[in-house]
A and B are shown apart, each in its own frame.
Chain A
Amino acid sequence: AQRVTQPEKLLSVFKGAPVELKCNYSYSGSPELFWYVQYSRQRLQLLLRHISRESIKGFTADLNKGETSFHLKKPFAQEEDSAMYYCALSDNTGNQFYFGTGTSLTVIP
């Protein structure tokens, strides 16, 4: 069963426009949610975690347990935000990780 769902495979927005990448999850208990990003020719790296509740590179994500969602948002997209974004979940033990299928974001100049 798919634990993490990212419904958009591709997303294009204009520079300066708001962007939202959707992530829904299915897991009982208290999972930890993450967003990872892979820029062109770079390694996959952590963007942010729901526990830290911080804003990284202008991105924020709020865990909505009622809707089981963890959408990633940025009010004003920049060209350097173009990348592949993965939503991920770790189980209660912190050992098993489940990744979504990814959303490729393109910011049009």
Chain B
Amino acid sequence: NAGVTQTPKFQVLKTGQSMTLQCAQDMNHNSMYWYRQDPGMGLRLIYYSASEGTTDKGEVPNGYNVSRLNKREFSLRLESAAPSQTSVYFCASKWKLTNEQFFGPGTRLTVL
């Protein structure tokens, strides 16, 4: 039971490059989330998916797209990376019964 897994762990991009961050959970949770964590800003919600086939914007969605591929997987795509997107990205899934979120280990992304 791996919980929430994220790939890659680290990534360096050049401005304008694109990439997809992958997230998967094996807890059969309906809801999944993408956050970014920046110094002094805490965690900010980028996008969430309340169930398979649905996605909604969070607090800071600009510059990102998401895909809820199936119940297990929720990916985050940067189409044209910018230095302002340098951050640590966390994926989470939520247990509906308690509203508790389970977090992945994070992806540290640097955009040069």
Contact partner of B101 (CB less than 8 A), chosen from A9, A52, A97, A101, is A97
Taking A32-B99, A90-B99, A95-B48 as contacts, is the C-beta distance between A44 and B90 under 8 angstroms? yes
- List the B side residues contacting A25 at CB < 8 Å: none
Contact partner of A98 (CB less than 8 A), chosen from B40, B59, B98, B99, is B59
- List the B side residues contacting A99 at CB < 8 Å: 35, 42-44
Number of B interface residues in the complex (CB < 8 A): 27
B99 touches A101 (CB 8 A): no
CB distance from A33 to the nearest CB of B (A): 10
Some 27 contacts from A to B, beta carbons below 8 A apart, are A32-B99, A34-B99, A43-B104, A43-B105, A43-B106, A44-B43, A44-B92, A44-B103, A45-B102, A45-B103, A49-B98, A49-B99, A52-B98, A86-B42, A86-B43, A90-B99, A95-B31, A95-B48, A96-B48, A96-B58, A97-B45, A98-B45, A98-B59, A99-B35, A99-B44, A100-B42, A102-B42
